[in-house]
Amino acid sequence: MTSKNNFKQTERREYGKSRDVLRAIYGFNQIGEQKPYFSITGKGWRFDGTSSVAGCCHDEIKEAFPELAPLIRWHLVDNTGVPMHYIDNGMYWHQNKNWDNMASTIVLGAAPDDHEWFEVIKKEAGWAEKWLKDRLPYLLGAMTAEMVKYGISLIL
């Protein structure tokens, strides 16, 4: 299976009290025929050279590279602006009333009036799926604008 990406890597940077070092890797990846998706991950090392963290270490990335923090909300969103399993995951968190996970899953704040509508759907479940679908065009616009700021192409 073929894979292509437009990943960028940061230089290693010290972070935290332990003075570990971290490198962030971010960009779009496409495996086989799937849609390209954005990811931002990291690889960290301790002072002695052993591995400290790897993968989806977003807290560490925020600490070491605060300038990349705005990209984290787009992790696992495809190049059409749709988060992975968007409707299914959004509705799952809604049905379980886990509002923090729902907000993260749906990239809350990327569409106009998001926070107001989020309060509405917490109380009136019947609107949730329609609201999620109505947000999709705004997600692509917001994601595209963010990627342009960082010089990241949505096309591989």
The DSSP letter of residue 83 is B
CA angle 104, 63, 106 (to 5 degrees): 10
pLDDT at 17: 86
**Number of domains making up the chain:** 2
- Domain limit, last residue, from 52, 76, 100: 76
> Final residue of a domain: which of 27, 42, 76?
76
Residue 91 and residue 11: Cα distance in Å, rounded? 39
pTM higher than 0.95 for the full model? no
pLDDT of residue 156: 83
Greater confidence, 125 or 92?
92
Residue 16 — very low, low, confident or very high, per pLDDT cuts 50/70/90? Answer: confident
CB atoms within 10 A of CB 107: 22
For 6-15, the CB contacts below 8 A with 24+ separation are 6/152, 6/153, 6/156, 8/152, 10/65, 10/68, 12/45, 13/64, 13/65, 14/64, 15/60, 15/63, 15/64
Q: Are residues 57 and 98 in the same domain?
A: no
In a domain, 156, yes or no: no
Q: Residue 132 is which amino acid?
A: L
Give me 113's structure tokens.
């009036």
User: Does pLDDT of 61 surpass 90?
Assistant: yes
Is 66 in the same domain as 109? Answer: no
Domain that holds residue 113: 86-147
Tell whether the model's pLDDT for residue 57 goes beyond 90: yes
Determine, yes or no, domain membership for 14.
Answer: yes
In-domain check, residue 17: yes
pLDDT (average), residues 56-75: 97
Mean pLDDT of the 43-64 span: 94
Provide the token pair at 98: 């886990």
